[in-house]
Chain A
Amino acid sequence: MNAAPFCRDCLTFAASAQAVRCSVCGSPRLLRHKERDSLTIAHVDCDAFFAAVEKRDDPSLADKPVIIGGGKRGVVSTACYVARTYGVRSAMPMFKALEACPHAVVVKPDLEKYRVAGREVRDLMLELTPLVEPVSIDEAFLDLSGTERLHHGSAAVTLARFARRVEDKVGITISVGLSYNKFLAKIASDFEKPRGFSIIGREEAVEFLGDKPVSMIPGIGAAAQARLAKAGITRIGHLREGSLRALYEALGRDSQRLARLAVGQDDRPVRPERETKSVSAETTFDTDLSRFDDLEPILWRLCEKVSRRLKAAHLAGQSITLKLKDSEFRILTRTRSGLPPTQLAVRLFGPARQLLKAACDGTPFRLVGVGAADLCDGEEADHGDLADQSVLKDAHMESAIDRIRAKFGNDALQKGLALRKPQR
């Protein structure tokens, strides 16, 4: 292994260990760290992913603040780095974002396009190692242990080359965090965004974490932060100070895990396939809806979506959950479980429709969602049983519809119900 700094731009090793800039291209983006070549767990995160894809496809947006978000209302799903300088953040209500940055270009999300780009990045990751654990459409953990000889370089060097490849092939930038476990890799990837590459080594981890806020730990949100602050814990270092017992009293079951994270210990392996627990779809309306007749067609389309996803993943659900959000942002969920396993839209729709009917009491809703859980193998679904032979008919009908749609597109064939427009 070569201990000299590695240039992330021209992908060569610098001539001397003390070099400040690359001796070939003059770039300051040199990768150097005492443990650089011994760390193998990485977290890769695309920079402002949705916005980056939009900027890639429309170069006129390059220097403008771009916000990706839906419809008349709804929230910011991604803000590009230009927009972020105005204080725009993701999950911010759109009107607030536009107050902060009135000249921002708002782009409606094109999820299909992002999925394709995400898939491209994922495929490039899989060229490095089969141990890729996707966290979401634009981030993943990679375990590069044992790939040094295959890729002719340490994990760090491989990842630096990978970052360039993503820029060249997909046209977006990524940030990389490299460490010896998932927790620290995730923290590292967040450190130098965008186009970052941070390394946290074994020797420095504990000291590094000490003065960082507890909110840096993934999963510690506002509520947990408040609870911790009450116990006098605001920095990660505080988690190491008290006794485990005191920590347990403040945090309950989670305390052991946090205490271990605080000393940089996390032994969760990188798992290539995350087990799917549920498959769901939801949508926020332009204006609140309260009538069952208006919500029903939307529910039907969502059931079709969930069904499509279940079929693609060869899964079937045995419980159906209806989710509603009212105009006060209160979330209501209703579940029907113990159903015969199904992946058919009509079979998801039946119970979901009943739940919706019962929930429609005049309350205006801004969002409806439907999800299938208690998943099992799609093979076990929709065979019909001794009390229900009609499911076979449903299955045949739906597979005929699916074949037509596969050939002529999703809109080729619709239930009349799906075309019903809300009454104003």
Chain B
Amino acid sequence: MRVTVERAALLKALGHVHRVVERRNTIPILSNVLLRGEDGLLRLKATDLDIEVTETLPADISEPGSTTVPAYMIYDIVRKLPDGAQVSLEMSGDSGQMQIRSGRSRFMLQALPESDFPDLAAGDMPHRFTLSATDLKRLIEKTQFAISTEETRYYLNGIYLHTIDVGGATMLRAVATDGHRLARVELPAPAGSDGMPGVIVPRKAVAEIVKLVEDGSETVTIELSAAKVRLTFDGVVLTSKLIDGTFPDYQRVIPVGNDKLLTVERSDFAKAVDRVSTISSERGRAVKLALGDGRLTLTVTNPDSGSATEEIEVDYDAAPIDIGFNARYLLDITAQLDGDTALFKLADPGSPTIVQDREGASALYVLMPMRV
């Protein structure tokens, strides 16, 4: 293989693919990135056996061929090369080494043959639809924070993506929960998504997708089978295994009869919660919300350090109620809301509470109360 490629393009592509490579690997080839030059294109591929990212970029191929080299090392080398440089990649004979040359720099990297490189056989992907990058970003950003890290309930370690009929219209929904809070966001189902299976996209893939979508592609094509998902951005393809498990029936935990309505100024509320929670300890992060007649009193009491109270004017005219929440969860959720106000729908101090921008908003959050 002998390939010449522009440094900036190569760096960008390596930046996309090298991230999926685990820093520590027991199988040497998994530390490597696959490079294949043919038909005027250089193709890069990296995998951790759960996720695979490939990217192609135009290159000057003087001799087609392929090899694999340590991903982090080649990424660091290319990163340190000067701007605007041309980089040449060349397999030197049967020495099992790949040479990188640029200007007066020269590197020899230990290579491993392509034949050993695992392939995340994608198989048949019967469902296919397209989303705008903004929509995909919204589905992920509004729910990502609620993904669980608890290993025993592995089926919560991702975002549950599925279609559902809501009042006659088919919606594409993303849901995530760690048991304490739940995030649900939906948008009208794009053509081709109807009838897709409900899938759980794992946390690591979600994090990669966010980074790729931020790198400015206009639309994203999503293909699905029961076991895998593939997202195609401009020139970048991410394939991931899905979590093999059943997402809990989240609809049953979203309360419907919560009739105590509280509307707050979102940023005032978040700042007040942030202020009073300064007092709280690492373990007990509870903030008490005492509601009555147009006034909300936030209180944090920490036996070790003291207490804090703040009052804010709110829109509330139901019966007085005292309810506790984890301060961090309140902040996480208010940070996700879009409008200037936040609407809380409460029932009683022991039951889940709904938080939304406003009635009927497309994003909905459910929060379990804490004892205070």
Query: A residues within 8 Å of B by Cβ?
Result: 336, 338-340, 350-351, 379-380, 383, 385-389
Contacts and interface: CB of A to CB of B under 8 A. Distances in A.
A9 to B, nearest CB: 50
Contacts of B181: 386
B252 A389 contact: yes
Nearest to B156: A387
Given A387-B153, A387-B156, A340 B179 contact: yes
Nearest to B254: A386
Interface residues of B, number: 20
Interface in B132-159: 148, 150, 152-153, 156
24 contacts: A336-B152, A338-B150, A340-B179, A351-B152, A379-B371, A380-B371, A383-B350, A385-B179, A385-B180, A385-B368, A386-B177, A386-B179, A386-B180, A386-B182, A386-B352, A386-B366, A386-B368, A387-B153, A387-B177, A387-B178, A387-B182, A388-B153, A388-B248, A389-B253
B250 interface: yes
A387 B152 contact: no
Contacts of A385: 179-180, 368
Pick from B148, B152, B352 the residue with the most CB of A within 10 Å: B152
Nearest to B180: A385
Interface string B350-372: 10100000000000001010010
A64 to B, nearest CB: 53
Given A386-B182, A387-B177, A387-B248, A339 B152 contact: yes
Given A336-B152, A338-B150, A387 B179 contact: yes
A418 to B, nearest CB: 24
Contacts of B352: 386
A415 B339 CA distance: 54
Contacts of A379: 371
Contacts of A350: 152
Contact of B179 (A336, A351, A388): A388
Contacts of A383: 350
A351 B148 CA distance: 17
A388 B352 CA distance: 13
Contacts of A351: 152
Contacts of B150: 338-339
Given A386-B366, A389-B248, A389-B253, 9 more contacts: A336-B152, A340-B179, A351-B152, A385-B180, A386-B181, A387-B248, A387-B250, A388-B153, A388-B179
Contacts of A338: 150
Nearest to B179: A385
A387 B147 CA distance: 11
A388 B371 CA distance: 19
A216 B182 CA distance: 57
A389 B366 CA distance: 15
Contacts of B253: 386-387, 389
A350 B248 CA distance: 18
Interface in B237-274: 248, 250, 252-253
4 nearest CB pairs, A to B = A385-B179, A387-B179, A386-B253, A386-B182
B58 to A, nearest CB: 47
A351 B252 CA distance: 26
A31 to B, nearest CB: 44
Nearest to B253: A386
Nearest to B247: A387
Contact of A387 (B148, B350, B371): B148
Nearest to B370: A380
B7 to A, nearest CB: 45
A152 B148 CA distance: 63
Nearest to A385: B179
A344 to B, nearest CB: 15
A388 B181 CA distance: 12
B371 to A, nearest CB: 7
A241 B303 CA distance: 43
B333 to A, nearest CB: 13
